[in-house]
Structure 1
C-alpha cells in the first residue's frame, strides 16, 4: 500500500457527486486534484470536512471495494 501525503487543493468546480446517488441525501462527492483525491459529504457541500487521499492510497481503497472487503 502506498503512503502518500495528500493535501486539499480541490477547486469548488472540481467536485462531482457519486453516480450511485439516488436523491436520498446519503451521497458523497469526489474531487481529483494534483496532490490527491478528496471525498466529502454532499449534504454539507463546501462546509463538509474533506477526507484527503493520495492517488496511490485511493487506488488501493477502490481495489479493496471491488474485491469485496467492505460488503455490508
Structure 2
C-alpha cells in the first residue's frame, strides 16, 4: 500500500486559523505498485473521532494535484 506525503491545503502544510473560501487539497503518494491513482477519498471532520464530518467525497476520481472540495 502506498504512503501519502506532502499533503497540503491551499498550498499550505498544516494550516490553522485561516478562513478559506475555497478549499483545495493536494498530495503525493510513494511506494505504490501501480503508476496511476484510480480513485481517492477525502473526509474532513470537526473532531478527531470523525463524528462531525463536514465533507466526504466518497471514492471518487480526484486529482492529487488539486482536488477542490465544498465544505458545509
- For the criterion TM > 0.5, the same-fold answer is no
Normalised TM-score (structure 2): 0.28
More helix, by proportion: 1
More strand, by proportion: 2
